Each structure stands twice: as C-alpha cells, then as structure tokens.
Amino acid sequence: MQTTLLHEAGSAQNGTRSSHRRPLHATREKCFTMTNVMLEGGKEIDLLAVNPISGEKYHIEVRVTIDKGFRIRLKDTQTKNGRKHRRGLDTLNKIKFIPPTVVNAVKGIFGTANYRKVMVVWEVEDESVIEQAKGLYEIEIWKMSDVLSELIMEVKTRGYRDDVLRTLQLISARVGDS
C-alpha cells in the first residue's frame, strides 16, 4: 500500500486556499488531499481527503500532543474560570466539524455532504471514547500511535524519495538495530 497522500491546491472558486503544498503521510487510505483549508471567520480545516479509487471522502482534524494530561474525552471539562479545556469531543465537534462555515466549505469542495469525519489523537481518556465518538458524533477516532506504527511497518518494504518517509525508514532501521 502506498502511504504518500498528494496535496491538491485549494480552488479560488470555492473561496478556500491551501497554505501547504507538500506530501502528507498516512496509512489509512490512498488519497488526494488538501491541507490547512482557510475559511471565513478564522476557521480552518486540517485535512480533506478523497480516495480516487473508492470515492470515499474524509474531513480529518488533528488534535495531537504527547502531554500526559491531554487525553481526548467525550465531554469537555472547564477551568475554574469556566474556560473549556478543548479536549472533549462535544466541544471539538462544535468547533471543528459542525460550524456552518465548515460544513458548507466541505460540501462545496466535495460536492456532497456524504463524507467521513475523523479526529486524529495521541490518546483517549479510555477506549470507550473511540466507540462512543462514532455513535454520538459520527466521528472516527484514529490514534496517531497506530497510524505511525502502520506507517513504520509499511516503509520497511521499499525505498522512498520523500523526506518524511525516508526519515521514518531510517528511524525504524535504527530502532530495529538496537
């Protein structure tokens, strides 16, 4: 399975722009992607992806940190001042997936409202969050550690010219030697 996702530039016709044009790597699907789609009102979509073979479409948001205290949970918590921690799927869904500006932009780019919502995270509060996220918010949770493990297994099979894949290949070889 090829793991490089190719970025496609944003279209001036739909009022969006893509701020990056570089390879992105994932192990889930072979897709053409658009990253960092800037929208009105300061909104931004991390990644839109289309599998040209299956036709599947993805709206992917990334919320990754290795801070031990940051685990995605179903319901957000608040500080003493009432400010949300922004690590609950209830809040993240409201911020990242359901604002009309976001929904309309995704529909405009994909030409349909039929797409999968994905949140990439480092860790979840407990494993039930993954299943409940799908049921409550129609959001798939992909753990970054799983994505990286799959990618490292994939890059062992052949050579790559891409800098990121090559770096993962070298790290994988180094870890395998020790």
Say how far apart CA 137 and CA 116 lie, in whole Å: 11
The 10s digit of each residue's pLDDT in 159-177 is 777 787 788 888 887 776 6
- Tokens representing residue 165 in the block: 């894949």
Say how far apart CA 139 and CA 61 lie, in whole Å: 10
> What pLDDT was estimated at residue 73?
74
Higher pLDDT, 34 or 11: 34
| Domain around 18 | 4-177
Residue 80, exposed/middle/buried by CB under 10 A (0-12, 13-18, 19+)?
Answer: exposed
Give the pLDDT band (50/70/90) at residue 22: very low
Residues 6+ apart with CB under 8 A from 150: 27, 28
Higher pLDDT, 136 or 76: 136
The 10s digit of each residue's pLDDT in 38-60 is 999 999 999 999 999 999 999 99
- Tokens representing residue 47 in the block: 């990644």
> What pLDDT was estimated at residue 178?
56
DSSP states of 18-76 as a string? Answer: ES--S-EE-SS---EEEEEEE-GGG-EEEEEEE-TTT--EEEEEEE----TT--BBSS-
Say how far apart CA 23 and CA 161 lie, in whole Å: 11
CA distances from 40 to 18, 25, 46 (A): 13, 27, 14
> What pLDDT was estimated at residue 124?
85
Q: How many independent structural domains does the chain possess?
A: 1
CA distances from 109 to 8, 51, 137 (A): 12, 14, 22
Say whether pLDDT at 105 is over 60.
Answer: yes
Of the ranges 16-20, 42-46, 80-84, which is most confident? 42-46
Under 8 Å between Cβ of 168 and 156: no
Output the average pLDDT for the chain. Answer: 77
Say how far apart CA 106 and CA 57 lie, in whole Å: 10
